[in-house]
Amino acid sequence: MSHEFQSTLYRTSRDMCDAIAFEWMMAGGLNNPDDIDAIAPLGAQHQAEECIEGWGLLRQIEGTERRDGEGDLTWLEVRDSSAAEVLDAFERFFAGRPDRKTIEQA
């Protein structure tokens, strides 16, 4: 399985989930660190849940039948990932605040 997000391939599921969290929190470049400070009190779990729901990461992908025959795989499962890994990525985002590092490097 591939670890693809926004037409970019990642070496690991962790790298892909970190990219998902970063992109969600940065809102495609619309948010700056002050914006993120304002929503940070909502926490990693809230942001992860909003992202998963908003982007449909748990929607089933037609034609990707599970091995046990119990329906189709989700978007995350097709990429060998899970909601728990997305939550972990949001926790890493809040712990390390890569948005601040991006601004500092500019």
Per-residue pLDDT tens for 39-80?
999 999 999 999 999 999 999 999 888 877 788 999 999 999
What pLDDT score was predicted for residue 8?
Answer: 93
State the pLDDT confidence band at 91, using cuts at 50, 70 and 90.
very high
Q: How many domains does the chain contain in total?
A: 1
The pTM score is 0.88
Structural domain boundaries, residue 64:
3-105
Q: What are phi and psi for residue 80, nearest 5 degrees?
A: 55, 45
Residue 1 has pLDDT above 90, yes or no: no
**Angstrom distances, CA of residue 10 to CA of 5, 18, 30, 41, 78:** 8, 10, 23, 29, 14
What pLDDT score was predicted for residue 28?
Answer: 87
